[in-house]
Amino acid sequence: MRTERATVCIPQGIHAAIAHRLHREAGRFQSSLFLKHGARTASLGSIIAILALGVERGAEIEILADGSDESAALVAIVGLLDELAT
């Protein structure tokens, strides 16, 4: 399992459209992907679970990946978060 820390710079935080994009991007990989915010963790396989984290702009999160393509998956998710912040 690999992890990467990130700060959410998306102006409205992680809302439904962002959760959908994260979910769709995660579906491209064999690895299991998760977001951790505080003491809570959500699978990127569930839009509702992502939204339930209540991630606001400026929040520190961890992206966790476990599987055969975990490195590529982490790069893709972090890249998407960066792209969505602009």
Catalytic residue annotation: 15
As a dihedral over the C-alpha atoms of residue 62, residue 6, residue 51, residue 55, rounded to 10 degrees, the angle is: 110
Spatial distance between the Cα atoms of 82 and 6, rounded to a whole number of angstroms: 9
- Closest by CA position to 8, among listed 72, 75, 63, 73: 63
